[in-house]
Chain A
Amino acid sequence: AQTVTQSQPEMSVQEAETVTLSCTYDTSESDYYLFWYKQPPSRQMILVIRQEAYKQQNATENRFSVNFQKAAKSFSLKISDSQLGDAAMYFCAYRSPFGNEKLTFGTGTRLTIIP
C-alpha cells in the first residue's frame, strides 16, 4: 500500500517571501500521479498542482512549483511571493492509475502567512 508523509504539521512565512512544504511517499509502482491540494478554513478542497510520475519536468502553476525527485520519492511544494490568501491546510496526495484510483493523503501542513 502507498503511504504519504508530510513531516511539517505547521509552517509560517512572511508575506511576499518563499516557503517550501515537504512531502515524501512510498510506493512500488512506477506510474502514478502526485498532487498538492489546498484546503482553506471551512472552504472547499482545491487542486494546487499536479505531477505525473512519468514526466521528468517539474510542474509549475504561476507562483506554485514542485520539486519532484522520483528516485528519492520526494515531492515538495514551493510557494513564491506568498500572499495572505495562501493561508490554508496543504495536503500532499498520491493517486495510483490502478485499482480504485483513490487518493492517499498525507496528514497536511498548516500554512500561516505573516503580514
Chain B
Amino acid sequence: EADIYQTPRYLVIGTGKKITLECSQTMGHDKMYWYQQDPGMELHLIHYSYGVNSTEKGDLSSESTVSRIRTEHFPLTLESARPSHTSQYLCASSDRPGTGSNTEAFFGQGTRLTVV
C-alpha cells in the first residue's frame, strides 16, 4: 500500500474562501505532483516539484499555488476559491526512473473539492 496521504478527502467550501489541500508521503521521494481530474476524465498535471524549494507549473493552467519546504510535504493552496475550481485533486510522488524498480508514481486518495 502506498504511503502517500491527502487530506481532506472531501471539502465543500464557499466562494472566496482560502483553502489548502494537504499531501504527505513517507517514501522519501524527491518528485511530487498535483493532478486535477474532472469526473470520468483524464488527469492533467497542474504542479510538480523535483525536491525541496523546487516547484514548477504543469501543463494545465491553475490558479492554485504550491510549496515544498519539506521533502515529505507538498500542499496546494487556493487563495480565493471559485466554482470553476470544483474538481478532484490527486497528489502523487515518484522516485527517479532508473533508480530501481520504483519507476511508477504512487497516488494519494484524492481530495474532492466542491466550491459553492
Given A107-B42, A108-B42, do A35 and B94 touch, yes or no (CB 8 Å)?
Answer: no
Q: Is B105 an interface residue (CB 8 A)?
A: yes
Q: Is A105 an interface residue (CB 8 A)?
A: yes
Given A102-B48, A108-B41, do A44 and B58 touch, yes or no (CB 8 Å)?
Answer: no
| Contact status A44-B107, CB under 8 Å | yes
Q: Is B113 an interface residue (CB 8 A)?
A: no
Q: Is A75 an interface residue (CB 8 A)?
A: no
Q: How many residues on the A side are at the interface (Cβ–Cβ under 8 A)?
A: 23
Q: Closest A-chain residue to B108, C-beta based?
A: A44
Which of A17-25, A66-74, A78-86, A93-101 lies at the interface with chain B?
A93-101
Cβ contacts under 8 Å, B92 to chain A: 45, 103
Q: Is A46 an interface residue (CB 8 A)?
A: yes
A35 CA to B43 CA, complexed, in Å: 14
5 more CB-based (< 8 A) A-B contacts, given A45-B110, A95-B97, A103-B33 = A35-B104, A43-B109, A47-B106, A102-B48, A105-B42
Residues of chain A whose beta carbon lies under 8 Å from any beta carbon of chain B: 33, 35, 37, 43-47, 50, 52, 89, 91, 95, 97, 100-103, 105-108, 110
**10 smallest beta-carbon distances between A and B, as pairs:** A45-B107, A97-B97, A105-B42, A107-B42, A105-B43, A44-B109, A47-B104, A102-B45, A100-B48, A33-B103
